[in-house]
Structure 1
Amino acid sequence: MRPWLTVGAWIMTVDGTVTEPIDTAGTSTIVADIAIVGGGLAGSLAAAVLARAGHRIALIEKRAVHPDEFRVEKIGGHQLELLRKLGFFNALEKVACRYDQVLNIREGKVVDVSVGQAYGFSYADLVAMARSQIPASSSLIVDEVTAISGSDDAQHLELASGRCVTARLVVLATGMAAALGYKLGIKRRILAERHSVSFGFTIARQDGRPFDFEALTCYGERTADGIDYLSLFPVRAGMRANLFMFRDPTDPIMRELRREPEATVLRLLPGLRTYLGDFRVIDRVQNWVMDLTVVEGHLQPGIVLIGDAFQTNCPAAGTGVARLLVDVDRLCTEYAPKWLATPGMGLEKISQFYSDRDKLAADQQSLKMARFRQALTSRNDIGWDVRRRLHFLRRSLTHRVDQMHPGWIGRVRGALRA
Structure 2
Amino acid sequence: MLLNDQLTEPQAAGVNETIIADVAIVGGGLAGSLAAAVLARAGHSVVLIDKRAVYPEEFRVEKIAGQQLEILRRLGFVRELEAVACAYNHVLNIRDGKLVDISVGQAYGLSYDRLVAMARGLIPNPSTLIVDQVTEVSCSGELQQLALASGKRITSRLVILATGMAGALGHGLGMRRRVLASRHSVSFGFTIAPPDNAPFGFEALTCYGERPADGVDYLSLFPVAGGMRANLFMFRDPADPVMRELRRETRPTLLRLMPGLQPFLGDFRVIDRVQNWVMDLSIVEGHLQPGVVLIGDAFQTNCPAAGTGVTRLLVDVERLCTSHVPHWLKTPGMGIEKISQFYVDTDKMAADRRSLRMARFRQALTSGNDLRWNMQRRLHFLRRTITHRLDRIHPGWIARFRSALRA
* TM-score w.r.t. length of structure 1: 0.94
Paired residue total: 400
Paired position in structure 1 for 2:380: 391
Paired position in structure 1 for 2:405: 416
| TM-superposed deviation, 1:87 | 1.3
CA deviation digits over 1:218-237, x for unaligned, max 9? 00000000000000000000
Paired position in structure 1 for 2:280: 291
Q: How many angstroms apart in 1 are the aligned matches of 2:299 and 2:403?
A: 36
CA deviation digits over 1:364-414, x for unaligned, max 9? 000000000000000100001000000000000000001111111121122
Q: Secondary structure at the match of 2:108?
A: strand
* Equivalent in 165, 182, 196 of residue 207 of structure 1: 196
Q: How many angstroms apart in 2 are the aligned matches of 1:293 and 1:107?
A: 33
CA deviation digits over 1:197-249, x for unaligned, max 9? 00000000012210000000000000000000000000000000000000000
Does residue 1:220 correspond to 2:209, yes or no?
Answer: yes
Paired position in structure 1 for 2:319: 330
Contact residue 191 and residue 226 of structure 2 kept, 8 A: yes
| Equivalences for residues 295-374 of structure 1 within 5 A | 295-374=284-363
| Equivalences for residues 102-121 of structure 1 within 5 A | 102-121=91-110
* Equivalent in 8, 28, 32 of residue 21 of structure 2: 32
| Equivalences for residues 177-192 of structure 1 within 5 A | 177-192=166-181
Paired position in structure 1 for 2:88: 99
Q: How many angstroms apart in 2 are the aligned matches of 1:131 and 1:321?
A: 17
| TM-superposed deviation, 1:5 | 3.6
Change (3 A) 1:4 1:260: farther
Q: Secondary structure at the match of 1:389?
A: helix
Does residue 1:73 correspond to 2:73, yes or no?
Answer: no
Q: Secondary structure at the match of 1:406?
A: coil
Does residue 1:148 correspond to 2:137, yes or no?
Answer: yes
The RMSD of aligned alpha carbons is 1.2
Contact residue 2 and residue 137 of structure 1 kept, 8 A: no
Does residue 1:243 correspond to 2:250, yes or no?
Answer: no
Q: How many angstroms apart in 2 are the aligned matches of 1:61 and 1:136?
A: 16
Q: Secondary structure at the match of 1:375?
A: helix
Paired position in structure 2 for 1:7: 14
Does residue 1:375 correspond to 2:382, yes or no?
Answer: no
* Equivalent in 195, 218, 224 of residue 184 of structure 2: 195
Structure 1 unmatched runs, 5+: 9-26
Change (3 A) 1:408 1:291: same
Q: Percent identity?
A: 73
**Structure 1 segments (4+ residues) deviating >4 Å:** 1-4
| TM-superposed deviation, 1:3 | 7.7
CA deviation digits over 1:76-134, x for unaligned, max 9? 11110000001110100001000000000000000000000000000000000000010
| TM-superposed deviation, 1:416 | 1.7
Q: How many angstroms apart in 2 are the aligned matches of 1:120 and 1:192?
A: 29
Q: How many angstroms apart in 1 are the aligned matches of 2:62 and 2:343?
A: 27
| Equivalences for residues 158-173 of structure 1 within 5 A | 158-173=147-162
Instruction: Specify the code of the residue in structure 2 equivalent to 1:416.
Output: L
| Equivalences for residues 41-52 of structure 1 within 5 A | 41-52=30-41
Q: Secondary structure at the match of 2:352?
A: helix
Contact residue 3 and residue 137 of structure 1 kept, 8 A: no
Contact residue 220 and residue 231 of structure 2 kept, 8 A: yes
Q: Secondary structure at the match of 1:135?
A: coil
| TM-superposed deviation, 1:417 | 2.9
Between 146-155 and 131-140, the greater mean CA deviation after superposition:
131-140
Contact residue 50 and residue 132 of structure 2 kept, 8 A: yes
Structure 2 unmatched runs, 5+: 1-7
Does residue 1:278 correspond to 2:285, yes or no?
Answer: no
Q: How many angstroms apart in 1 are the aligned matches of 2:10 and 2:275?
A: 37
Q: How many angstroms apart in 1 are the aligned matches of 2:209 and 2:240?
A: 17
